Structure 1
Amino acid sequence: MKKNKVITADEAIALIRDGDVVTTTGFVQSCIPEALHAALEKRYVESGAPRDLTLIMTAGAGDSKGLGTGRLHHDGLLKRVIAANFGRMPKVAEAAKANKIYGYNLPQGVISQLYRACAAGQPGLFSKVGLKTYVDPRLGGGKVNELTDEDIVKLVEVEGEEWLFYKATKIDVAFIRGTSADPHGNISMEKEALTLDVLAQAMAARNNGGVVIAQVERIVEDGSLRPKDVRVPGILVDCVVVAEGEMHRMNYGVLHNPALSGEVRVPVASMKKMTLDARKIIARRAAFELPPNGVVNLGVGAPEGISAIAAEEKVTPYITLTTEAGAVGGVLASGSSFGAASNADCIIDQNQMFDFYDGGGLDMTCLGMAECDRYGNVNTSSFGGKLNGCGGFINISQNARAVVFAGTFTVGGLEVKIENGEVKIVKEGRSRKFIDHVEQVTFSGEFAAERGQPVIYVTERCVFQLTREGLELIEVAPGIEIEEDILAHMDFKPIVRNPGLMDRRIFMDEPMELKADLLNLRLPERVSYDHDRNILFVNLEGWQARSKNDIADLRRILVNACKAVGRRVNSVINHDGFKISENLYDAYAEMIEYMSEHHYLKTTRYATSAFLRLKMQEALSRRGLAPHVFERREDAQAYIERGDDPEGRAVAAE
């Protein structure tokens, strides 16, 4: 007969032995088995046992004030911690910084996927995630202090390519959480905001001969759970602990919100509009990078605001927002509910989401930044004497097709006022973010540049872009002086070629009509035809090519315009203020090649930016096209109308 697995928290915790490896679930402030953490703390404080535990966890699981895994800070309780985030358990982080415990800070997705490796009896995980960051053995191997000496990350070569091998650590005890359990331990999660890694964690402990302890809200009758609703089968569960009220909150700020658990859907129009401040300015500018019909991840902090902006601008139906915790679609939650989503399309397990991210499924991510240097390296993991941890930052930033880093220009008391469409710095922040060298490399700008990954850095007063030569200032907010408000507050001088003005709509407290920009609805208005001179004028001033889809839209419009004329045309293209990701130059040149072969007599373009002209000429030359890119409109038109080059030499028709 199947036994009844429902016991008290104290009885369950009594099964943990000295030296055990314990894993627990939870994401930031959500889905945390608080009753189990509290019972473990209580037992140790009262008896001094169990001692010398190893704690393994993915994302932070606490309120940063002592709840969740923050309860496990007592001297002697933990001997070693392997985690993606230490910021949610500050006293444990302090112990690690003080060399009182062994510690490793590994990417969240790697730890999440290692649960599966443990469950399958595999020795570890091969991954490119972490190369050229502090997780790379050449830069520290993820160790958080001098005490930690064992290498659990190795650099290996497979078929001529560099990989990291992450060693799996066998698990003895798994703390998981669900909503309902029957007496035999079958677990459902109908009122949980996320499913996370509970199944993989349970398998990892069970297949190692360990103990699986599940915290739930209620016990239901045997046989009342539908098979497809059971997320963890009873064969994997040893003990079930019932926790109600404060010990089983959805998160520390919300007792229960049925919209976050997917039990109801709420009107998007009812969601609160953001105040026009520095945070909203940053989110608005970053929103211009959203890829229509693309998949997007948003980090904590300033990036969270993009979800609200997308709702305000009514572009949510045209993008799919996701979180590394497993939410797909809907409007992403913020604050204590970060990681969840209202009106989500679905919730998948965290390790599966990281499979998707690592494989290149993300079209764009927007993440925060604590420090940034001249090479475009970003640090979010260890700074200002504090061990925060990388969370999912490394997985996400390294593998997304495009990256936006977002945050205020300085930090600590910064006061900004937006008046009449301009930014005024009322009080500068005490600490600089743009410094000579980051304390720790959480994102490698050099590695991104090598791979041609598009990266920009958005602040309330300016925007930078990653180039092979380093960080370049490309946009400045209205009302901001480059020397006084930007360069004077940086430890290094970025590349300054010809920065443009940030879109003025960002700084006005009214809808930006972002939808028209993202969907290229006004692109046809940029094309006009002069019948007498047989010239097609294309005005791409201020237009942005974010993806190949944008280039495809432009090509379609140009082809339709040429077909309407009914003959080959000459074309003059205005590229002043035109923005294009470095990885798209070849695709753009391919479009020009197609138009030249099928629709153009001659074509020329102009741009005041010397850098853009150089990149365009390089891309055209690689395809064997004449690189007619001029600085002035007059020279471009002269080439078409008189057949002259800038020095007056005759040029044959193409």
Structure 2
Amino acid sequence: MLNKLVSPRDAAALIHSGDTVTTSGFVGAGVPEALLKALADRFDEESHPRGLTLLFAAGQGDGKERGLNRLAAEGLVSRVIGGHWGLIPKLAARAVKGEIEGYNFPQGVISHLYRDIAAGKPGTISHVGLETFVDPRLGGGRVSSDKPSPDLVELITIAGCERLFYHAMPIHVALLRGSTADEHGNITMEREALILDNLAQAMAARNSGGVVIVQVDQIVAKGSLPARDVIIPGMLVDAVVLAPAELHPQTYATQYNRYYTGRYKEPEGTTAPAPLDLRKVIARRAAFELPVGGVVNLGIGMPEGVAGVAAEEGLLHHLTLTAEPGVIGGQPASGLDFGAAVNTEAIIAQGSQFDFYDGGGLDMACLGMAEVDVTGNVNVSRFGPRLAGAGGFINISQNARHLVFAGSFTASRLDVRVVDGELKIASEGRARKFGPAVEQITFSGKRAQRLGQPVLYVTERCVLRLGPEGIALIEVAPGIDIERDILAHMGFVPHIDDVALMDPRIFIDAPMGLRDDLLTVGMAQRIQFDEARDILFINLAKMNIRTLADMNEIKTRVESVLLPLGRKVDVVVNYDQTQIDDTLTHAWSDMIDDFETRLYKRATRYSTSAFLRRRLGQTLERRRRVTIFDSERAAEAALREAE
């Protein structure tokens, strides 16, 4: 095989007018900056190639000149299909004006579309995007209605269920990035912060009859690279470009950080705590929702601060933080480093991460919010002429088991301060966030209500919850007047019943002790009788039941609640991440037998762990037929069906 090393200019010459081009990158990580510059320079000099279609999953830009902003010259691009547009304002402005065809699809859908194109499929079928602006009934993901554009997504029905079908298209050129290439074109990514969709994009281009061009910062002899380190095999690569350092930063904020590679660990405690300002107040309240032992996604913007709070409170070792480009574990970075992370446990392909997200793998997600309306809809994607795009927001928000939206209560010149443990509003924001209707539906509140998805809206001054009755005000910050500081700045009136005070520790500049709170839950909190529903809820989540004394504590609490009732009641038991010592298997089963004989009318159980459901089923099936469900909603539904 011939040496595949070419100059940036020769690489750009491989792109022809009318081609569909896909590019790698997430914010500033993994962006083939040298290749994008070479393409822009060629067009500037030759006015070719023209009329390109650009396909990308994650946003790639710094909000100014770099990344895909380089491709905004008139005539170079005629159609853009992308996940996040906020960092490429030059292209976004042209799409909003109708100067080019623009589509905004969920980031994870485009990531999966690469694989389906590689596999020769006609497109991607997904539930992601239903009842949002991507749904053909609500616009089909089009950026501008002024420019006639074809339907690229259809509403279909499969097995009686609505789904969206996203059309595939041939990819003629893939502009990708790695760390090291050998002379055969094998590519490794050992100095990159992310793996992204590079392999899927390369396969999609090759199987479409296209070309694959990869930017690297190092060339080695053929046969030098360990096979297990190769991310893009040389058989898929047509050309390799050696990029100068200034066009090959690890992220747009950092030239190189060894800790972002996942090969080294950053010493703990090296990052100073953030000041107690508006952002930290919101992040602190959101952190109260973190599920110990659970898997969490934190979105860009305001939610980024939750990672810092978790680190300060000693919680990072008790949950798994993730980011959509493929980061698992550790502490996600922020700003133009967003997408990278330190002290990761794994860095996987972006498409695989979205497989996990779309299937319901997230125990919790904390995402930003720009507009919220009376039905619980959230908009983060479109504001008049400003196009932010959805990114991975739709994939994540539709599928997380527990959802927290985090953001300031108002926007534009809001000045909020923490004084003596209370919140003081020095200057109110000029823009309302909570109004009668959002401009664009990025998250459907009605869909969440219908599916029973728990949703909170966390701000610096109050917390609201989406329930069956709509949005309800449930908490208010110390120092805040409900009428003056909340209702007067909303476009609708939320349900107001029992409003609690937000935890005072949030507003004191000292550690909150959140780790102890989340790791230690008293038995009185774990076992409670709901009179309204006439159900006993037993929460054994994350408990380690090691001794007979642990069992007796549970038994005593159950009896103290139920015996005074003088009758049997229905019971729902949460076994999520519960550990029962093997030596207690028979004793535990005997105790449950006794409960079901004396105290339980009907009992259902649930756990998100398939392994634990199987193990508990084996433990309890000796004397009875036991079904353990995968969610509280399913367990309660089983009780209703039994009636």
TM (norm. structure 2) is 0.86
Change (3 A) 1:492 1:222: same
Partner-residue secondary structure (3-state), 1:260:
helix
Q: In structure 2, what residue type is equivalent to 1:435?
A: G
Correspondence list, 1:349-368, <5 A: 349-368=349-368
Q: Following the alignment from structure 1 to structure 2, what is the Cα–Cα distance between the partners of residues 174 and 154?
A: 26
1:53 corresponds to: 52
CA spacing shift, 1:186–1:275, aligned 2, 3 Å: same
Q: Are 2:136 and 1:137 aligned?
A: yes
Give SS of 1:269's match: coil
The answer to whether the Cα contact below 8 Å between 1:7 and 1:241 also exists between their aligned partners in 2 is yes
AA partner of residue 116 (structure 1): R
How far did residue 495 of structure 1 move?
A: 0.9
Which residue is 1:160 aligned to? 160
Whether 1:11 and 2:10 are equivalent positions in the alignment is: yes
Q: 1:292 to 1:17 in 2, by over 3 A?
A: same
SS at match of 2:269: helix
CA contact under 8 A between 2:538 and 2:572: conserved in structure 1? Answer: no
2:217 equivalent in structure 1: 217
1:178 aligns with 178
In 1, Cα distance between equivalents of 2:541 and 2:423: 30
SS at match of 1:251: coil
In structure 1, what is the Cα distance between the partners aligned to 2:528 and 2:212?
68
Cα distance in 2 between the residues matched to 1:106 and 1:500: 39
Q: Answer yes or no: is the 8 Å Cα contact 1:296–1:321 preserved in 2.
A: yes
Contact 1:3 1:184 in 2 (8 A): yes
CA deviations over 1:262-310 (Å, ceiling 9, x no partner): 2321112111211111111111111111111111000001101111111
Matching of residue 302 in structure 1 with residue 302 in structure 2: yes
Q: Does the 8 A contact of 1:313 with 1:513 survive in 2?
A: yes
Are the equivalent residues in 2 in contact too, given 1:372–1:435 (CA < 8 A)?
A: yes
Runs of 4+ in 1 over 2 A off after TM superposition: 524-527, 536-539, 545-554, 556-565, 567-573, 584-590, 593-602, 619-626
Tell me the SS of whatever aligns to 1:228: helix
Q: Compare 142-151 and 187-196 and name the one that shifted more.
A: 142-151
Change (3 A) 1:133 1:586: farther
- Tell me if the contact between 1:569 and 1:600 (Cα under 8 Å) persists in the aligned partners: no
Instruction: Tell me how far 1:510 sits from its aligned partner.
Output: 1.1
C-alpha displacement of 1:511: 1.1
User: Kindly tell me: are residues 199 and 150 of structure 1, through their superposed partners in 2, closer, same or farther at Cα, counting changes over 3 Å?
Assistant: same
* Distance in 1 of aligned mates of 2:203 and 2:61: 24
Partner of 1:105: 104
Check conservation: 2:180, 2:217, Cα contact below 8 A: yes
Structure 2 CA distance for partners of 1:546 and 1:287, relative to 1, 3 Å: farther
Give the letter aligned to residue 318 of structure 1: H
Q: Secondary structure at the match of 2:452?
A: coil
Distance 1:196 1:223 in 2: 25
- Structure 1 residue matching 2:79: 3-state secondary structure: strand
| Pair 1:454–1:525, CA change in 2 (3 A) | closer
Identity %: 52
Cα deviations across residues 545-579 of structure 1 (Å, max 9, x unaligned)?
Answer: 9996549789x9995236569x9545699xxxxxx
One of 534, 552, 555 as aligned partner of 1:560: 552
1:218–1:462 Cα change, 3 Å: same
Partner SS state of residue 129, structure 1: coil
Amino acid at match of 2:490: M
1:92 aligns with 2:91: yes
Q: 1:66 matched to which residue of 2? A: 65
Corresponding residue SS for 1:466: strand
Show the counterpart of 2:618.
Answer: none
Is the 2:537–2:573 Cα contact (8 Å) retained in structure 1?
no
**Match of 1:191?**
191
Matching residue of 2:41: 42
What secondary structure sits across from 1:56 in the alignment?
strand
Rounded to whole Å, the distance in 1 between the matches of 2:637 and 2:253 is: 55
Q: CA deviation at 1:586?
A: 5.2
| Superposed displacement of residue 597, structure 1 | 4.2
Aligned residues of 1:103 and 1:148 also touching (Cα < 8 A): no
Structure number with bigger Rg: 1
Any residues of structure 2 matched to 1:539-554 within 5 Å, and which? Answer: 549-550=540-541
Counterpart of 1:185, as a letter, is G
| 1:118 aligned partner, one-letter code | I
Matched letter for residue 446 of structure 2:
E
Q: For the residues of structure 1 that align with 2:379 and 2:528, how far apart are their CA atoms?
A: 45
Amino acid at match of 1:417: R
After TM superposition, the score normalised by the length of structure 1 is 0.84
Deviations 1:102-142 (A, max 9, x none): 11100000000000011111100110000000001110111
C-alpha change, 1:277 and 1:215, in structure 2 (3 Å) is same
Q: Which residue in 2 is equivalent to 1:116?
A: 115
Note if 1:426 corresponds to 2:423.
no
Q: Distance in 2 between matches of 1:466 and 1:568?
A: 34
Q: Does the aligned pair in 2 maintain the 1:52–1:76 contact within 8 Å?
A: yes
| Residues 1:382 and 2:369 are matched in the alignment | no
Task: Supply the AA of the counterpart residue of 1:81.
Answer: V
Deviation at 1:335, TM superposition (A): 1.3
Pair 1:589–1:134, CA change in 2 (3 A): same
Q: Residues of 2 paired with 1:456 and 1:568: CA distance?
A: 33
How far 1:211 sits from its partner (Å)? 0.8
- Give yes or no for contact 1:465–1:471 (8 Å, CA) kept in 2: yes
What letter corresponds to residue 28 of structure 1 in structure 2? V
Instruction: Give the corresponding residue for 2:588.
Output: none
Q: How many residues align?
A: 588
Deviates more, 1:368-377 or 1:144-153: 144-153
Q: Does residue 1:251 correspond to 2:251, yes or no?
A: yes
AA in 1 matched with 2:165: F
Secondary structure, aligned partner of 1:367: strand
Distance (Å, rounded) in 2 between the aligned partners of 1:601 and 1:127 = 41
Distance 1:239 1:197 in 2: 18
1:579 aligns with none
* Cα drift, residue 325 of structure 1: 0.5
Structure 1 residues 234 and 601: alpha-carbon distance in aligned structure 2, compared to 1, 3 A threshold: closer
Return the alpha-carbon distance in structure 1 between the equivalents of residues 92 and 453 of structure 2.
33
Cα 1:424/1:142, change in 2 over 3 Å: same
Mapped partners of 2:600, 2:12: distance in 1 = 80
> Could you tell me which amino acid in structure 2 is paired with residue 561 of structure 1?
E
- 1:370 equivalenced with 2:362 (yes/no): no
Q: Secondary structure of 2:17's match?
A: coil
Counterparts of 1:557 and 1:282 in 2: how far apart (Å)?
40
Q: CA deviation at 1:538?
A: 9.8
CA contact (8 A) 1:291 1:547 kept: no
Are residue 24 (structure 1) and residue 16 (structure 2) matched?
Answer: no
- Residue 57 of structure 1 aligns to which amino acid in structure 2? F
2:624 equivalent in structure 1: none
Inter-partner Cα distance in structure 2 for 1:571 and 1:206: 66
The one-letter amino acid of 2:236's match is L
1:452 equivalent in structure 2 = 452
User: Taking structure 1 as reference, are residues 571 and 558 closer, same or farther at Cα in structure 2, changes over 3 Å only?
Assistant: farther
Deviation at 1:496, TM superposition (A): 0.9
Q: Distance in 2 between matches of 1:414 and 1:463?
A: 18
What amino acid maps onto 2:318 in structure 1? Answer: Y
Contact kept in structure 2, 1:568 and 1:599, CA below 8 Å: no
Cα separation, 1, equivalents of 2:384 and 2:403: 24
Q: What is the letter of the counterpart of residue 182 of structure 1?
A: D
Residues 550-589 of structure 1 correspond to what in structure 2 (within 5 A)? 550=541, 560-561=552-553, 563=555, 569=560, 587=573
**SS at 1:240's partner residue?**
strand
Seen in structure 2, the aligned counterparts of structure 1 residues 276 and 3 have a Cα distance that, compared at 3 Å, is: same
In structure 2, relative to structure 1, the CA distance for the partners of 1:239 and 1:538 (3 Å cut) is same
What's the offset of the Cα at 1:600?
A: 6.1
- For structure 1, the 5+ residue unaligned runs are 528-535, 540-544, 574-583, 603-614, 627-654
Opposite residue 43 of structure 2, the aligned amino acid is Y
The Cα offsets for residues 156-191 of structure 1, whole Å up to 9 and x where unpaired, read as 111111011010111000000000001110000000
Contact 2:541 2:574 in 1 (8 A): no
Q: Contact conserved, 2:24 with 2:32, CA < 8 A, in 1?
A: yes
Relative to 1, partners in 2 of residues 1:181 and 1:492: Cα closer, same or farther, differing over 3 Å? Answer: same
